[in-house]
Amino acid sequence: MLGGTSMLDLVEMVFNRYGIRSLRYDGKMDRESREKALSTFKKSCRPKILLISTKCGGVGLNLVSANRVVNMDLSWNFATESQTYDHVHRLGQEKEVFVKRLIVKDMIEERMLKLQALKTDLANAALGEGTRNLHKLCVKDIVNVGSSTSSTLREDSFANVLVTA
């Protein structure tokens, strides 16, 4: 992370610079502020962008007023990301939903995608839902998928999602 600045802070700075209106929903906000952001986002004449942290989503969060999700920071675990996408895919969604994940070539995101695929395959195999390529993996393959050039990376450093309507 850049001096403790989150990806949400960086995106918000760029939006402000270019006059792009957005709302914010993250764990640093008190409950009342988060509820106000959500109620504003659901109104008809409102900012079309909600910057949201996946860590503060919570159970039952309903974002059917959005239909586009742009993930700016992947999670090491796809289930975490998937839960965020599900907030937009709730019952009552009347629009087609689009999910985009921004990946930087030859950077940590590529390794994260491989690790996500591996975890998904392992979970599916454990549940008897498939064994795609698992028989070809060895311990070295599993260890190398998560290797990184930086020892300071932590799972909680990759937790922001941009949701747009």
With vertex at residue 42, the alpha carbon angle to CA 60 and CA 47, rounded to the nearest 5 degrees, is 125
pLDDT average, residue stretch 10-30: 90
How many residues can be counted in the chain? 165
Q: How confident is the model at residue 150 (pLDDT cuts 50, 70, 90)?
A: very low
| pLDDT tens-place string over residues 50-79 | 888 877 765 567 888 888 888 887 777 788
Residues 115 and 80: their CA atoms lie apart, in Å, by 13
Q: How confident is the model at residue 143 (pLDDT cuts 50, 70, 90)?
A: low
Q: Are 70 and 102 in contact (CB under 8 A)?
A: yes
| pLDDT tens-place string over residues 77-127 | 788 788 878 888 887 888 888 888 888 788 888 888 888 888 887 877 777
Residues 163 and 165: their CA atoms lie apart, in Å, by 7
Kindly report the pTM of this predicted structure: 0.67
Token pair belonging to 96: 């087609």
Whole-number pLDDT of residue 22 = 93
Q: Spell out the domains of the chain, with CATH numbers in brackets.
A: 7-164 (3.40.50.300)
